[in-house]
Amino acid sequence: MELPFAEAWKIKMVEPIRKSTRAEREKWLLEAKNNVFMLKSEQVYIDLLTDSGTGSMSDRQWSAMMLGDESYSGARSFFELKDTITRLTGFRYVIPTHQGRAAENVLFSYLVKEGNIVPGNAHFDTTKGHIESRHAFAIDVTIPEAHDTQHELPFKGNVSLEMTEKILKENPGKVPFFVLTVTNNTVGGQPVSMQNIRETCALCHKYGVPVVMDSARFAENAYFIKTREAGYQDKTIKEIAKEMFSYADCMTMSAKKDGLVNMGGFIATNREEWYEGCKLFCIPFEGFITYGGMNGRDMAALAVGLEENTEFDMLDTRIRQVHYLAQKLDEYGIPYQRPAGGHAIFVDADKVLDRIPKEEFPAQTLTCELYLEAGIRACEIGYILADRDPVTRENRFGGLDFVRLCIPRRVYTNNHMDVIAAALKNVYDRREQITHGVRITKEAPLMRHFTVELERI
Ligand SMILES: *Cc1c(COP(=O)(O)O)cnc(C)c1O
C-alpha cells in the first residue's frame, strides 16, 4: 500500500484555541460593526485573516533567537542574514527593513518620481499605495485570463508581454522600474512561470527598464515552477529561486510570508547605486543599515526561516494543505478562483450569494456569515477593499468580489481544514435564504476596509 502524505514536521508547542457559541458571535460581530478586523483574536476560533506574520517558527528558529546579536551596528546576525540572502538570491547588497511595505517605502522614496508609470502584474495594495502616494501610476499588466475565476491555467499570475510592451513603448523615460510580484497575490496567489519571468525581464531590459521582484512568496512560486513547468522537476527549490532572481535587478521582501517570521523584510540588489540611494532613506525611516528596523534576534530567525522554507518538503506540506481545502470545496460545489493558489483560497462570493446586489457587498456578507456559522475569520478582498474612485467617489464594482481563506504556515491541521470546508458548506447550503447584504455606515477616505463600519440590511 502506498503511504499517504503527511506533514514534514511534528508539533512541539501548542496554543489552545476556543470555540464560541452562535449567540456570543452574534454579539461580538455586532460590537465589531460587522467588520472582522475589529474582532478580538480571542473571539475567533480559526483565523484565516492573513498568512502574513501568522506562521509558526521552528525549534531551530527559536534557538537562533537566543543567539541574536543586538549590537547597534555590524551585528553578527545581520551578516548571517545577508550571507543567507546572497546565497539564495545572488544579490550582494542587503538592506533590512521592519516589513515589506517599509522596503517599498525606502526603495520607492529613492526611485519613484511624480508622473512616473510603474507597470506590474497586479501590484499588492501597499505597493500601489506607495506608488500612488508619490503621484505616480501603477498599471496592472496581468494576463487578462486571470480575471475569469473558472479558467484553469498553471501560471495564472503571468505578465502580459503585449500590454507591457505597449506601456514601455509609449512612455520612454517615465518608467523607473517594473514590479514583478511572485506569486501574484492579488489575483489569488497565482504563480508566474520561469519562462514568463525570463521574457518579462528581457523585454523590460530591452527598453532599459529595471525589474524589481516583489518576492513575498518567491518560494511558493518556485514550488509551482518545479511541479508545473517543463524542465524544472529535477531542480531544487533553491536552484529555481536563484534562477528567478538572476533575471531581476532588485527584490523587495515581506519576510512575514515566505521568510517564516512574524515581522521583518528587506531589499536586496546588485546595483551599487541603488544600494547607496536606499541607504539615505533607510537610516532616517528604518534605522541603521545593519538592522533597518529589525532586532538582531529577528534577523537570526529570518536567516533560518529562509533556509527552511526553500526546502521542497516544507513547501509541499503547505501547498498541499491549501489544495486539500480546495478539494473539499470542489466536493461541495463551492466556486473559487481556479486553480487554488499557494497561500489561500479565494471564494467567488458574487457567484455564491448571487441574490445580493453588488451595492450590498456579497463578499463582506459571506465573510460575516462564515464567522457567525463557526467563528472562522476570513477576509473580504472585494468591493469594500476596492475603495471608491478617487475622482467620482463612486464604489469600484469593476473587479472581483472574493472571500479570502488565507492559510497561515505550519499553524492548522487538515482537521481544521475540514471544519472550514464544512462551515462554508453550511452557509452555501442556505445561500438562498441570505437575501440581504450589508450597508456602510462609516468609512475612511482611503483603505476603508480596515476600519469600515457596517450594518446588516
Ligand atoms: C504582504 C505583501 C507586501 C507588504 O508586506 P508587509 O510585510 O505586509 O508590509 C507586499 N507585497 C506583497 C505581494 C505582499 O504579499
- Active-site residue, 371 included: no
Q: Is the dihedral of CA 283, 287, 289, 294 positive or negative?
A: negative
Domain extents in the chain:
22-51+312-456, 59-308
- Active-site residue, 125 included: yes
- Active-site residue, 449 included: yes
Look-up: residue for cell 457559541?
21
Look-up: residue for cell 525589474?
211
- Ligand 1 center to 216 CA (angstroms): 6
- The atom of ligand 1 lying closest to the CA of 183 is 13
| CA distance linking residue 293 with residue 324, whole number of Å | 37
- Ligand 1 center to 26 CA (angstroms): 32
Residue 122 DSSP label: S
Q: What's the one-letter identity of residue 446?
A: L
**For the segment 291-334, what is each residue's pLDDT rounded down to a tens digit?**
999 999 999 999 999 999 999 999 999 999 999 999 999 999 99
- Ligand 1 center to 72 CA (angstroms): 26
The ligand 1 site (C-beta within 6 Å) comprises 52, 99-101, 124, 126-127, 181, 185, 214, 216, 254, 256-257, 265
Q: Judging by beta carbons within 10 Å of its beta carbon (0-12, 13-18, 19+), is residue 433 exposed, middle or buried?
A: exposed
Q: Atom 11 of ligand 1 has which residue's CA nearest to it?
A: 124
Q: Which neighbouring-strand residues pair with 267? A: 95, 252
| 59-308 and 22-51+312-456 share a CATH fold | no
User: What is the best residue among 98, 213, 214 to mutate for testing ligand 1's pocket, by most ligand atoms within 8 Å of CB?
Assistant: 214
| CA distance linking residue 136 with residue 174, whole number of Å | 10
Q: Atom 6 of ligand 1 has which residue's CA nearest to it?
A: 100
Q: Side-chain half-sphere of 116: how many Cα atoms within 13 Å?
A: 20
| CA distance linking residue 121 with residue 142, whole number of Å | 4
Q: What angle do CA 80, 81, 86 make, to 5 degrees?
A: 100
**For the segment 249-297, what is each residue's pLDDT rounded down to a tens digit?**
999 999 999 999 999 999 999 999 999 999 999 999 999 999 999 999 9
- The atom of ligand 1 lying closest to the CA of 264 is 7
β-pairing verdict for 211-214 and 178-181: parallel
Is domain 59-308 given the CATH code 3.40.640.10 in the classification?
A: yes
Catalytic residue, candidates 125, 140, 316, 330: 125
305 CB-near residues (< 8 Å, 6+ apart): 57, 58, 61, 255, 259, 260, 261
Catalytic residue, candidates 128, 156, 257, 328: 257
Q: Atom 1 of ligand 1 has which residue's CA nearest to it?
A: 254
DSSP 3-state assignment of 385? Answer: coil
72 CB-near residues (< 8 Å, 6+ apart): 288, 291
- Active-site residue, 124 included: yes
- Active-site residue, 288 included: no
Per-residue confidence in pLDDT tens, the chain, 457 aa:
999 999 999 999 999 999 999 999 999 999 999 999 999 999 999 999 999 999 999 999 999 999 999 999 999 999 999 999 999 999 999 999 999 999 999 999 999 999 999 999 999 988 998 999 899 999 999 999 999 999 999 999 999 999 999 999 999 999 999 999 999 998 889 999 999 999 999 999 999 999 999 999 999 999 999 999 999 999 999 999 999 999 999 999 999 999 999 999 999 999 999 999 999 999 999 999 999 999 999 999 999 999 999 999 999 999 999 999 999 999 999 999 999 999 999 999 999 999 999 999 999 999 999 999 999 999 999 999 988 887 899 999 988 899 999 999 999 999 999 999 999 999 999 999 999 999 999 999 878 999 999 999 9
Confirm if 310 and 219 have CB atoms less than 8 A apart: yes
User: What is the best residue among 254, 294, 409, 450 to mutate for testing ligand 1's pocket, by most ligand atoms within 8 Å of CB?
Assistant: 254
Q: Atom 14 of ligand 1 has which residue's CA nearest to it?
A: 216
At residue 99, φ and ψ (nearest 5 deg) are -165, -175
- Ligand 1 center to 49 CA (angstroms): 14
Topology of the domain covering 22-51+312-456: Aspartate Aminotransferase, domain 1 (3.90.1150)
Cβ–Cβ contacts within 10 Å for residue 365, how many?
A: 25
Look-up: residue for cell 549590537?
71
Q: Judging by beta carbons within 10 Å of its beta carbon (0-12, 13-18, 19+), is residue 430 exposed, middle or buried?
A: exposed
